[in-house]
Amino acid sequence: MTEETKLKLLESTELGIEHASKSVDEVRSFIKKVKLMTKFMADSEFNVEDKIFDNIEKLLEYRMLIGLIYLDLASAMRAHLNSKYTYEQLLSIRQIIVTINEGYKQIYNFVKVNEHGDAVTKYRKKSYWYQDIQVIINESIIELKPEYDSLTKKLDDYFDENFEAIKEQRNLSIHYDRKASKVYDMIIDLEVEETFKKLSPFLAIITEMFRFTEKMASISKVNEKQKNVDMHNKFESTFLDIENKINAANPNANPEVMKKLKELTSKIKTDFLDKIKSLST
């Protein structure tokens, strides 16, 4: 690797880490807000017909996963580029291999083949990409299905081309072995250029997924705002009915009691609607 290439990689990863770090911090804040909104609706016994807030939380959790995988890979790259000793460089390469394997596993998981030669897909069906993102796309954002399918094909192609060697390297890097020489040989035989060839397309998929979740979030945010408007209107209508019933009450009722009842109703209404507004911003 030339010094010029090294400097470019250091510069690009520095900017990438800065952006991704800020993004995951923001996502964590959004997750807390969504949980507050969900709890508020549950406590208020407000019925939401669809799963908009549940889907938003799943999407945000997935976006955070993508951000963390990128941060781990970019940090390992910088550690490699800044290493002084050969073993330091190889350790960071092992970290890249482990992160690719575990990141892919969380995103999409693996299809295994049993002793009869049959494909076992139960692990993949529990993955983020299959169980959460695909469901959100099919139920709420069908217009993004072509992009989802395109990314799915890239995930399939990446697995077919890269995971035969990665699996053994990952296992020895995490678990070591009773024969330490086996681990040593694996480390010494690591090819930096080959690892970077595996890293490059995986980073491209991660980056594309990050942009894809931005599209999903922007559409979901519009839906969320509409849901908050609907909830606001429903509460407004409910309190209007209550106020009308109070005004139509028996004219012989105690005026002081009626006054306090109106004040209490007004306060509850204000608190409810202010809460909805605060959770929407």
Find the domain containing 53 and state its range.
3-225
Q: Would residue 243 count as lying in a domain?
A: no
Measured CA angle at 223 (ends 220, 226), to 5 deg: 150
* Residues 135, 72 contacting (CB under 8 angstroms): no
Rounded to an integer, what distance in angstroms lies between the CA atom of residue 239 and that of residue 117? Answer: 64
Q: Give the DSSP letter of residue 99.
A: H
pLDDT digits (tens, 9 = 90+) for 248-257: 665 666 677 6
Rounded to an integer, what distance in angstroms lies between the CA atom of residue 84 and that of residue 89? Answer: 8
Domain count, the chain: 1
Q: Would residue 185 count as lying in a domain?
A: yes
Residue with tokens 């910088």: 78
Residues of the chain with pLDDT under 70: 40-41, 44-52, 220-254, 257-258, 260-262, 264-281
Q: Would residue 137 count as lying in a domain?
A: yes
Q: Give the DSSP letter of residue 114.
A: -
Long-range CB pairs of 105-108 (<8 Å, 24+ gap) are 106/65, 106/69, 107/65, 107/66, 107/69, 107/155, 107/209, 108/155, 108/159
Give this prediction's pTM.
0.76
Type of residue at 33: K
Per DSSP, the three-state class of 273 is helix
pLDDT at 102: 95
Q: Would residue 280 count as lying in a domain?
A: no
Phi then psi for residue 215, to 5 deg, are: -65, -45
pLDDT at 56: 82
Q: Would residue 231 count as lying in a domain?
A: no
Phi then psi for residue 176, to 5 deg, are: 60, -155
How many Cβ atoms are within 10 Å of 190's Cβ, its own excluded?
18
Type of residue at 68: L
pLDDT at 279: 46
All residues at 6 or more sequence positions from 113 whose CB lies less than 8 Å from its CB, including other chains: 119, 120
Q: Would residue 111 count as lying in a domain?
A: yes
pLDDT at 227: 54
Q: Which stretch of DSSP H or E encloses residue 120?
A: strand 119-120
pLDDT at 32: 87
- Of the candidates 134, 280, 126, 130, the one whose C-alpha atom is nearest the C-alpha of residue 216 is 134
Q: Would residue 244 count as lying in a domain?
A: no
Q: Would residue 239 count as lying in a domain?
A: no
Rounded to an integer, what distance in angstroms lies between the CA atom of residue 46 and that of residue 273? Answer: 13
